[in-house]
Amino acid sequence: KTIEFTGSLHATVVKQVRLKNPSVKTLVYNATLVGRDADDFSLPKGNTVTIAPKKQTSINVEFTSRFLRPAEAVLLLTSKNMGGIDGVTLTFSLKSEVKHLEP
């Protein structure tokens, strides 16, 4: 899945990624941003995501544009083994586009 961040140059755009846990055990993920422009993206609530059994949660991903060129990175969610259950590894492509220039 691709998450697109569109906004003005030097503006911060926040997107939410919704994660669901269909199992009866708690899932814990470690979130990592990788790629050419990973430094332009951030996870303001930290890198650990816990999802209760049969529940869902959202994580915020922030992007602040520094350049006119499109930025690209990958959000990688790897499961930590908690109580004998592993979640699948999740990847999201992050892409940006600057639509406005403000003085």
Per-residue pLDDT for the chain (103 aa), expressed as one digit of tens each? 899 999 999 999 999 999 999 888 888 999 999 999 999 999 999 999 999 999 999 999 999 998 899 999 999 999 987 665 677 899 999 999 998 877 6
Nearest to 76 by CA among 88, 63, 58: 88
Say which residues have a Cβ less than 8 Å from residue 18's Cβ, sequence separation at least 6: 56, 57, 58
Say which residues have a Cβ less than 8 Å from residue 35's Cβ, sequence separation at least 6: 72, 73, 74, 94
Distance CA 79, CA 6 (A): 29
Which domains are present in the chain?
2-98 (2.60.40.10)
Nearest to 96 by CA among 62, 60, 71: 71
pTM of the predicted protein model: 0.87
